[in-house]
Structure 1
Amino acid sequence: MAGGPTRTIRTGVGAVGLLAVPVLLAALPIVPLAWLLDAGVGVGLLVAAAVGALVSAALGPMLVDRRIARLPDADLDERPAAFVEYRVDELADDIGVDAPAVTIVRADAPNVAVTDGYRGARIVASTRLLSLPAADRDAALRHALVRLRRREAAFTTAVLPALLVVETVALLATLLVGRRVDRSPADRRVNRIHGYEPDRERIPAPVYTAAGLLLWFLLLPAWTPAIVGDRLFVAGRRRAADAAVARVGETERDGLANAVAFAGDAAGAADWPPLLDRLSLVSMADDETGRVRGYSRQEARVRLARLRSNVAL
């Protein structure tokens, strides 16, 4: 396949970008400390690489498990719950991967995520996804299991803590840059009616903007590889899993296309936890978070167009 080597290179570059994020965050305190102790910058970078990768890999599964534990339980009867686990077992056996644990959550977001790590693998599916027609539901579950088999779920879970730090700081910086402190004429009229005049010694808007720009400047070395990883690895591996499902047969290809289309158009995206977004069938990040991650709004549309075309994926 002509595009095979190119896709491999893009995936590799994306994986390096994601792995660089925890290393860079660890380097912030470790490299200056190594320099002060005359250990050398090179030694500091080596220690930061080991510490950043190990700490992130240790915290990732814990962070994900705690977030999943706080999701609303679906409260399914024993028979429906057992049937879902049975279908996951069957699909896992067909794909050639050990069946993961299954958690069904009550959510309007028609989505499914897969996590992996030293605490074990788990599929998290929403009740709305399970309400889809059988072919669509099974194709979405198969997509998650393919990502599990290829170990990308384990890698993404391991780097999630560092990505969460970068994303949170980036959102804060964006909020500070766009913060509005000036009162509108309507605000002033309401204040006069109620006899309230706020303190005029408030922080000027340029101060917020300068603080936000400073945060962005400090964050840029870690944010850049994070968005490269999101675009090349996370989005690229979703498309690769699409292709793997499509190659199984026409029913699976059409079912996956239907699931992706429904997830992209249906309401309820706010029900899906942002922490699981990179591990999910479809990204459900809001506009602000999507821009911070460097996501393209065209990603789901491109996937859908490829699935519904007659070209080989």
Structure 2
Amino acid sequence: MWGTSGTGMGRARASVGLAALAIVPVLIASVLVVPVGLLVGVGPVLTVLAAVVVGLGVSAAIGPVLVGRRIERLPDADLEDRPAAFIEDRVAALSADLGIDAPAVTVVRGDAANVAVTDGYRGARLVVSTRLLSLPAADRDAALRHALVRVRSRDAAVTTALLPAVVVVETLALLATLLVGRRNERTASDRRVNRIHGYEPERERIPAPAYTAAGVLLWLLLVPVWIPAVVGDRLYVAERRRAADASVARLGPDERTGLANAVEFARDAAGAADWPPLLDRLSLVSMADEETGRVRGTSRQETRVRLARLRSKRSL
């Protein structure tokens, strides 16, 4: 599964992260499976086994569908036949160099300079923005190689399969955070203006403290699944990106410099809002927006560390 990428320590960290990510769908499935197991009267071993099978099985089945539908909603680049054929040929050539079948290619219009790769029973797919394709050839090819390495190592398939449960946790955590921070929108000044104009809307039926209490309660319920999701992000997702960095860098100094340039440009380019958070863990660079970044395990620090390693003279 790991191929030849990454150090022994990196592989150990990624293994721990993978185990943490795999726990998340199992814990979510346990909410339904455990009560059923207790009612039916099966033993704890069979109940746990059923939670594992249901959690991982459902997640793996939904993952490719979830990502595929999100990709379908992205704005198409509407490239002419010749540029589109050139990109597909370039991806095919790079895939042949890595010894894998070329994935399908979707070029999307947007200011975000990024590339993501998804894999599963529906097949592998590369999603690349027009802005990333505008990079110099060496930088562009290095970024595409990075994505293709994640197909070869099966990292893209694993991440796609485990994505639905993590997205559920992330969405609920964001909701809890927003509830905790919710405040009454109308100030005393707003009320005075409303009365002057003869309009006084109905008072807030639910007081702000009630939202805060609901948010805190939701966070407490989420902690058992949020912690492994964060650990998985920090260890598995981050380590597999770094392992792909190392695989590309070993091809030569030009590839190493090209990848560093692409990562730096993607990090600093405007347009992060154009890149859907759902593809974030499958991308060259994490581009989580300000809201989701508050409840995520990934951070911009990860990209800074990757760049420092790529720019250094030492072996990755």
Decide: shared fold, TM above 0.5. Answer: yes
**Which of 109, 112, 115 lines up with 1:109 in the alignment?**
112
Amino acid across the alignment from 2:28:
L
Q: Distance in 2 between matches of 1:133 and 1:238?
A: 22
Q: Distance in 2 between matches of 1:210 and 1:285?
A: 27
Alignment of 1:1-313 (within 5 A): 4-181=7-184, 183-200=186-203, 202-313=205-316
Q: Is the 8 A contact 2:174 2:294 kept in 1?
A: no
Instruction: List, as ranges, runs of 4+ consecutive aligned residues in structure 1 with deviation greater than 4 Å.
Output: none
Q: Distance in 1 between matches of 2:103 and 2:153?
A: 14
Q: Distance in 2 between matches of 1:79 and 1:263?
A: 25
> Aligned pair count?
312
CA-CA distance at 1:52 after TM superposition: 0.8
CA-CA distance at 1:304 after TM superposition: 1.1
Q: Is the 8 A contact 2:114 2:132 kept in 1?
A: yes
Alignment deviations for residues 264-297 of structure 1 (CA, whole Å, 9 cap, x no partner) = 1111111111111110000110122122112222
Alignment deviations for residues 101-157 of structure 1 (CA, whole Å, 9 cap, x no partner) = 111111111100001000101101111111111011000000000111000000000
Amino acid across the alignment from 1:65:
G
Identity in percent: 71
What stretches of structure 1 of length at least 5 have no aligned partner? none
Q: Distance in 1 between matches of 2:19 and 2:54?
A: 16
Q: Is the 8 A contact 1:182 1:205 kept in 2?
A: no
Residue 3 of structure 2 aligns with which residue?
none
TM-score when scaled to structure 2? 0.95
Q: Distance in 2 between matches of 1:10 and 1:92?
A: 28
Q: Distance in 2 between matches of 1:282 and 1:193?
A: 52
Q: SS in structure 1 opposite 2:200?
A: coil
Q: Is the 8 A contact 1:170 1:219 kept in 2?
A: yes
Q: Distance in 2 between matches of 1:31 and 1:266?
A: 47
Q: Is the 8 A contact 1:234 1:278 kept in 2?
A: yes
CA-CA distance at 1:182 after TM superposition: 5.9
Q: Distance in 2 between matches of 1:193 and 1:149?
A: 67
Q: Distance in 2 between matches of 1:58 and 1:183?
A: 45
Q: SS in structure 2 opposite 1:298?
A: helix
Q: Is the 8 A contact 2:286 2:300 kept in 1?
A: no
Alignment deviations for residues 155-190 of structure 1 (CA, whole Å, 9 cap, x no partner) = 000011111111111111111001011633432333
Q: SS in structure 1 opposite 2:213?
A: helix
Q: Distance in 2 between matches of 1:85 and 1:17?
A: 36
Amino acid across the alignment from 1:164:
V
CA-CA distance at 1:72 after TM superposition: 1.3
Amino acid across the alignment from 2:26:
V
TM-score when scaled to structure 1? 0.96
